Amino acid sequence: MLAALERRRVAYIVVGELAEVLQGSGGTANTIQIVPSLRPENVERIRAALSDLGTSPAVIDRVSEADLVDGTTVACTTPSGELLIVPAPEGTRGWDDLRRGAGREPLGGGVRPAIAGVDDLVRMNEATGVPERAVRARTLRRMIELSHDRGIDL
């Protein structure tokens, strides 16, 4: 899914469990969550990437600039898995807010998505008020502490 987004030059940031795993928290992720730029041309690129993935036209029709600007999260089931398009995760103001702390991570095959920074992942998890997410925030905070102790910036 990320390769399809990259081929279409979609501006997005990976968030959620996959971002946490890629930042080193351990675990697994079953769903890819992205925060896209909401520019009209970027929304069209997302729709094209979904089409490339074989997503049904009914699902693609739910990905519209108006819905995304309103903050509606869109779940897209593709033959490759589930992609959640999250315009503004809790605790953030969306793509413009998250892109400052994001970094690119090479995943192989020329795929180098922007991944939310650890501080932003902590902020998102804490903002939900969900106990499981609070545990994830504590794990990420501990990662930050350990990296600072070793002189490494995350």
Tokens 């499981």 locate to 132
Q: What pLDDT, on the 0 to 100 scale, is given for residue 135?
A: 79
pLDDT band at 12 (very low <50, low <70, confident <90, very high): very high
As a whole number, mean pLDDT of residues 97-103 equals 95
As a whole number, mean pLDDT of residues 90-114 equals 94
State the architecture of 2-117 in CATH terms.
2-Layer Sandwich (3.30)
User: Each residue of 24-44: pLDDT tens digit?
Assistant: 887 788 899 999 999 999 999
Paired tokens of 127: 């903002």
Distance from C-alpha of 17 to C-alpha of 30, rounded to nearest angstrom:
8
Domain boundaries, the chain: 2-117
120, 126, 128, 131 alpha-carbon torsion, rounded to 10°: 140
3-class DSSP state of 116: coil
- Under a CB-based contact definition with an 8 Å cutoff, are residues 24 and 129 in contact? no
Q: Which residue has the higher pLDDT, 28 or 61?
A: 61
